Amino acid sequence: MGDSHAWTAAPAAAEQARSVLAAAWSCAVTAEGGREEFVGAHTVGDDGQVFLHVPEDSALLGAAICAPRGEPSAVLEFADVAPVPVRGRIRARLWLAGWFAVADWHLAFRPTRVVLRRPSGSVVVDLDEFAAAEPDPLALAEARLLTHLADCHGDAVERLTRLVEADSLHGAVRVRPLAVDRHGLTLRIERARAHGDVRLPFHAPADDIGQLTERVHVLLSQASAASCPRALQRQRTDGDG
């Protein structure tokens, strides 16, 4: 047991920002022409540059074409939404401030400031680190992985709570998988009027689905060897689980 949970790293801010950007399906754009919401309209370059494919009658495209310098300033907002229904599904928000340029009737956005807001607070991401970072290798598969875990393996989620300190489970009415990345799995613990998150780090990073499966099996083996927390026993006894 000496090496249990030895790997405690979490995604760096730049990596998490790029993961949010890679997985987001929609974005909100605030510019001189007002605010517009776009769904399935953006792609991301290797350096984090955002390309927005908008309708020809978009006010944003018109503002870009008519801007004196041809580069209107704008703020792009992306939300990181938990794929599993939980209380408070917004896990993080990402803001990119910068300039648009028209390219082949599409918009290329060059960020000059990147801000990531997480539950622990907001952080300004270094632009060079943002450009050099890569999304988490599990980012695009996370939604499918978490919904499968929640819908088909509720017993495994309950078993994993044996790795959580009993105090953190006090008053829990529901525990759901909230997030997974190459470094670990996060559980959302919901109580009657509040909620909290507990991170279960992997013993080593997982760079693909196969490695992730092995990492989760290690956690489950560790959980099977642990005693069941009293708080969870009360939850089952009271018929609330």
Could you list the pLDDT tens digit for every one of the 241 residues in the chain? 333 334 457 889 999 999 999 999 999 999 876 888 999 999 999 999 999 998 888 888 887 777 766 567 899 999 999 999 998 899 999 999 999 888 877 899 999 999 999 988 999 999 999 999 999 999 999 999 999 999 999 999 999 999 998 888 888 999 999 999 999 999 999 998 889 999 999 999 999 999 999 999 999 999 999 876 544 544 443 444 3
Mean pLDDT, the chain, integer: 87
pLDDT in tens, 142-155: 999 999 999 999 99
Q: CA angle 191-149-231, nearest 5°?
A: 30
pLDDT in tens, 108-153: 999 999 999 998 899 999 999 999 999 999 999 999 999 999 999 9
| Element spanning 234, H or E | helix 230-237
**Residue 88 backbone phi and psi in degrees, to 5:** 70, 70
CB atoms within 10 A of CB 3: 8
pTM: 0.86
Task: Find out whether 198 and 186 touch, Cβ atoms under 8 Å.
Answer: yes
> What is the Cα–Cα distance from 37 to 47, expressed in whole angstroms?
23
